[in-house]
Amino acid sequence: MGQNDNQNTVPAIHRAIDVIEFISSSQRELSFSEIMDNVDIPRQSLIRILNTLCIRGFLDKSSQRGLYRIGLKFLYLGHGLPDKFELRTAAWKSMKALSQKTGKTIELSSLDRDQLILLEQIRGSEEMSLYSRVGSVIPYLHAVSVGKVYLALMEPDKRRRVLKKIGLPAMTRHTITDMARLEQEIQETQARGYGFEDQELREGVRRVAAPIFNSNGKHVGCIGLSAAVFSFELDDLDQYGRMVREAAEKTSAELGYVSNS
């Protein structure tokens, strides 16, 4: 909190965003003093900030003298994402088809600011708690099928930069934490044309993902399929891999991509 480094910014906006992000991170409603204790803003100013954000719908207050929470405006504003939306439209048909064919959870993800972000999702039959939410982000490229695809298609120096920034932290006991092992995995991903993840992010979940390219040949996203281990045997890997690759290729075609291999 507090990147007041740059001169060409507005302190008041930084503070407002600090407040928003703190409330969001807490995942529940917060009292005024809880917020006060966790952001470095004087009482009077904080009151003004909270007021402003409430008036504009960026925060909600449960009652007159109540608790603060993130406003529904954020759901609403989460739309005006023009180019990512194009991707969503293009991918929709293939995702739906894949969902009907497999009954599994199908996801559309993209890379933004070196993090994976979930853009769209068609849920399978797993229980609610297993799902990520649309819009959620994951910085651990090394632990996710989608991330491996991104790593596999990245410029080597960008790959090094990204991997250096987050390292290879273990999310489960299956996470790849050895760089040589990861290099090998990346090569396999390149060879197969799809990425695979075996309980490396979450215990009990397997995932495959394949890349989508736009008309300029740029890698703009991935279509992924995920399922619990008991409904996604290792024997199914090739089959599901082929399927997500097909779905992703169809989406690429939709975007005007022509393979030049």
Partner DNA sequence: TTTTCAAATACCATATATGGTACTTAATGG
Partner DNA sequence: CCATTAAGTACCATATATGGTATTTGAAAA
* Residues engaged in binding DNA (CB under 7 A): 7-8, 10-12, 31-33, 36, 41-45, 47-48, 50-51, 61, 64-66
Strand, helix or coil for residue 219 = strand
Taking the complex as a whole, how short is the minimal distance between the CB of residue 208 and its own copies, in angstroms? Answer: 23
Which residue number, 12 or 72, has a Cβ lying nearer to DNA?
12
- Which range, of 126-134, 171-179, 181-189, 195-203, touches its own copies by CB under 8 A? 126-134
* β strands within the chain, DSSP E: 59-61, 68-70, 105-112, 115-122, 137-138, 195-198, 205-213, 219-228
Residues near 214 by beta carbon (within 8 Å), at least 6 away in sequence: 220, 252, 255, 256, 257
Residues in 18-57 that interact with its own copies by CB under 8 A? 20-21, 23-29, 45, 47-49, 51-53, 55-57
The smaller minimum CB distance to its own copies, of residues 49 and 248, is found at 49
**179 binds, options DNA, its own copies, none, Cβ within 5 to 8 A by partner type:** none
27's torsion region: left (phi>0), alpha (psi -120 to 50) or beta?
A: left
Kindly identify the residues of this chain, within the stretch 76-115, that bind its own copies according to CB under 8 A. Answer: 76-84, 89, 92-93, 96, 112-113
75 interacts with its own copies by CB under 8 A: yes
Instruction: Give DSSP secondary structure letters for 115-155.
Output: EEEEEEEE--SS-GGGPPPTT-EE--GGGSHHHHHHHHHS-
Q: Which two tokens stand for residue 114?
A: 């070196």
Q: Does 61 bind its own copies (CB under 8 A)?
A: no
CA distance 19 to 38: 9
Structure tokens at 84: 């990512």
Per CB under 8 A, which region of 6-14, 187-195, 233-241, 248-256 contacts its own copies?
A: 6-14
User: Roughly what angle, to the nearest 10 degrees, separates helices 179-192 and 145-153?
Assistant: 80
43 binding partner (options its own copies, DNA, none; Cβ < 5 to 8 Å by kind): DNA
> Total number of residues binding its own copies (CB under 8 A)?
63
| Residue 113 burial (10 A CB sphere; 0-12, 13-18, 19+) | exposed
Cβ proximity to its own copies, 43 vs 181, nearer residue? 43
Interacting residue ranges for its own copies, rule: CB under 8 A: 3, 6, 8-14, 16-17, 20-21, 23-29, 45, 47-49, 51-53, 55-58, 60, 69-70, 72, 74-84, 89, 92-93, 96, 112-113, 117, 119, 122-123, 125, 128, 133-137
